[in-house]
Each structure stands twice: as structure tokens, then as C-alpha cells.
Amino acid sequence: MAAVKIYRWGFVGAGGMAQALAADLEFAPRCEVGGVYSRTPQTAQALAGRFGGRVYASLEGMLADTAIDLIYIASPNQLHYQQAAAALQAGKPVLCEKPFTLNAAQLERLIGLARSQGLFLMEAMWTRWLPLQARLRQLLGQGAIGQPLQLEAGFHSRPPAAADNRFYNPSLGGGALLDLGVYPLSLASQIFGRPAKITSTVQLAPTGVDESFAAQFSYQNGASAQLSAGFDGVRRQDIVLRGSEGSLQIALDQGGWKQRQLTLTRGGRSEVFDAPYLGSGYSYQADEVVRGLEAGRTESETMPLAESLAILQTMDALRAEWGLHYPGEDELQML
Ligand SMILES: NC(=O)c1ccc[n+]([C@@H]2O[C@H](COP(=O)([O-])OP(=O)(O)OC[C@H]3O[C@@H](n4cnc5c(N)ncnc54)[C@H](OP(=O)(O)O)[C@@H]3O)[C@@H](O)[C@H]2O)c1
């Protein structure tokens, strides 16, 4: 019997998110931390010390190592484009943290590169593979609420307000839309597709990035979505989707967008579905990457590249309305 292949992940960045995924790879039996490169060697060593893997002094060193099967980008937002491009140019498949890139023009280039190289590329929109989301897609596919018509979804938190952290710093691609808003936008996209009309209000922080926003999306078929995000500490405990025959309510775990319970209400009766997740919920996207690589696919069917691109185009449109432009985002030259 052929040995089962174990995929050795090369981590770029070793901060909070990298550590969370590294911990959850325990639940993805075909995956392990193969290597780590981070700006500060000590941070990389700390991750490798806990979860294994070789520490590299340079990104190029890790990309050149044939023992590394794929690259996971978990660096600050403004670095995703160049680092993902370098990985693809080196012939490695890529899973890239959200926001995929700062803007749609960057992602368009990355998609072109991945296609020309015949390599797998995916946005780490991990919530799409939570067991609850699979249940949601199944219920919607069965017409459990008839035609979906109204979505209310928001993601709010309260990070430290220091100008030098990634949340508020425009040079690090900060702001609530790219950090949090991408989740409700992605959910709306999954349910309704591309909006026909967008209106929004924004609260800008003194650093110029969006501290919070609220947007109303309208769709060709008459459906609508009210979406919001903010570093404002607003507590939202659920996502609500109303349809022509019933409604769905998704309970959010405190302080995040983790989802484990869904209530279907139809004809005056409610039914509760529990869909717990393993660890912090990040291992399911790793399984999706493995399925894609094993099948020789170059993208995920659940999070297609064209959809990631459409979401970034919508984010670009919102930022254009707000006059929010990131330093260096127009530099498309791959290094
Ligand atoms: N999916 C999710 O739920 C989720 C949650 C949080 C964040 N994220 C995303 O994950 C990414 C990282 O966020 P985070 O919270 O982990 O941030 P973080 O804690 O600040 O970690 C960022 C890491 O990248 C390293 N880094 C900085 N510059 C680098 C460079 N030039 N090359 C390589 N590494 C570099 C940092 O520096 P040192 O090496 O100096 O330590 C640090 O280890 C962001 O894009 C964010 O949007 C996703």
C-alpha cells in the first residue's frame, strides 16, 4: 500500500494567526508545520519550538527547500501580494490569509501567476469550511427558508487603539473592512453573489483607516444585505438570514466569527442544529487545501478565485467611496 502523503507547510509570519493555525493542524492529519520564516528569527523559533518545523533565515531559503510542499501566508496584510507572488514564482501552492491582497488589481495578478504556473491558490476564508457552514449550504440548497431575501451580518471587536499596530496602521493595510468586514462580505457573496448597488457609511480613525462601517447591499433579484464591521466593541451575537418561507439564525461564539449553532424557523416552529468544530475551527480549511492538491486542482470549489476577486472589487468600491487608499497599493511590480 502506498504511504499516505503528509503535506509540509511553510509558514510566512509567526504571529497570532500563524500560531492558531499551527495548533489546529493537529486536527488535520495530512498536514504538519514543515518550516517557518518570520521577520524576527526569535518569533519563528518560538513557533517551531512549539509545533515543529525548520526555521529559515530568509523567505527565499524556505521557498527553495523541496521539503516544503506549500506556503501559508500569515504576515501583515500589505505583504501578502509580494510574498504570495514569490511563493508561486518558486513553484509552491499558496494558502493566503484574508484579506487576500490589498486590492483587486493585486489579486488579479496573483491569479494570473497561479494559473500560468498551474498552482493551487486559495484565500484562507476558514469560516466557509466550518461544519455549520456546510449545514447552512445544505439547508439553503434544500430550500429550507424558500428564497433567501435579507441578510444581517456584522463582525465587531475592540483591538488596542495604538497607531503602530496592524489594525489602525494604513501602512500595514489596517482598517475594519480588511480585517473584519471581509467575513460578512464573503458570507453575503456566498448567498447572493455580487451586489448590484452599494450604499455605506464610515467612521474613519485618526490614522485614516476605517474604524467602523455599515453597508447596505442590494441585489438584482430584490434581496438585500445589511453588513457592518468595526473596532468599536459593538456586540453582535448572531447572523440572521430571512427568506420567503422562513429564517435562519446563526449564533456567534463570543469575540469572533466562530459558528456552532443554527436555528431554522419555519411555519411557526423552530429547529436547532448543533455543528461543533474541532480546536479553533481552522483545520477544515487545511483539509480543503489537501483535497485540492490531491485532486490536482488549482483552486477551491467552495472559495473560488473569481469569487475572492469579486469580493475584493466590492471592497475596493467601498474604500473608493470613503477615500481610503493604502500606501504602495498601486505598486503591482512583482519583486
Ligand atoms: N483567519 C483569521 O481568523 C485571522 C485572524 C487574525 C489575523 N488574520 C490574518 O493573518 C495575518 C496576520 O495576522 P496576525 O494577527 O497573526 O498578526 P501578528 O500577530 O501581528 O503577526 C504577524 C507576523 O508576521 C511577521 N512579519 C512582519 N513582517 C514580516 C515580513 N516582512 N515577513 C515575514 N513575516 C513578517 C510578524 O513579525 P515578527 O516576525 O517580527 O514577529 C509576526 O510574526 C493578517 O493578514 C490578518 O488579517 C486572520
Q: Indicate if the pLDDT at residue 42 is higher than 80.
A: yes
Q: Say yes or no to pLDDT of 92 above 80.
A: yes
Distance of alpha carbon 285 from alpha carbon 298, whole angstroms: 15
Q: Measure the CA–CA gap between 174 and 98, rounded to whole angstroms.
A: 12
**DSSP-assigned states of every residue in 5-48:** PPEEEEEE--SHHHHHHHHHGGG-TTEEEEEEE-SSHHHHHHHH
Cα separation, 252 vs 236, in Å, equals 8
Q: Which domains does the chain possess?
A: 7-126+290-298 (3.40.50.720), 131-274 (3.30.360.10)
- In ligand 1, which atom is closest to the CA atom of 77? 45
Q: CA 300 to CA 178: how far, in whole Å? A: 21
- pLDDT, tens digit, for every residue of 184-208? 999 999 999 999 999 999 999 999 9
pLDDT at 163: 65
Nearest CA to ligand 1 atom 42: 15
Helices and strands (H and E) in the chain: how many: 10, 14
Cα–Cα distances in Å, from 270 out to 183, 247, 266? 26, 9, 6
Output the pLDDT for position 325.
98
Burial label for 236, CB within 10 Å (0-12, 13-18, 19+), is middle
Nearest residue by C-alpha to atom 17 in ligand 1: 15
CA distance 225 to 218: 7
- Distance (Å, whole) CA 28 – CA 31: 6
Q: In what order do the strands lie in the sheet with 246-252?
A: 197-204, 210-218, 224-230, 148-156, 238-243, 246-252, 259-266, 269-274
What's the CA angle centered on 321, arms 319 and 327, to 5 degrees? 40
Confidence of residue 254 (pLDDT cuts 50, 70, 90): confident
Q: How far is CA 5 from CA 31, 67, 289, 291, 294, in A?
A: 9, 12, 13, 12, 9
Quick: pLDDT tens for 154-176.
999 999 877 678 999 999 999 99
- Residues lining ligand 1, judged by CB closer than 6 Å? 12-18, 38-40, 43, 74-77, 79, 97-98, 124, 126, 166, 179
**Given a cut of 90, is residue 21 above it in pLDDT?**
yes
CA of 151 to the centre of ligand 1 (A): 31
pLDDT, tens digit, for every residue of 286-311? 999 999 999 999 999 999 999 999 99
SS3 at position 319: helix
Q: What span, in angstroms and rounded, lies between the C-alpha atoms of 95 and 101?
A: 12
Q: Is the pLDDT of residue 51 over 90?
A: yes
Residue 327, preceding peptide bond in cis (omega within 30° of 0)? no
Q: What is the pTM of this model?
A: 0.97
Tell how far the Cα of 166 is from the centroid of ligand 1, in angstroms: 9
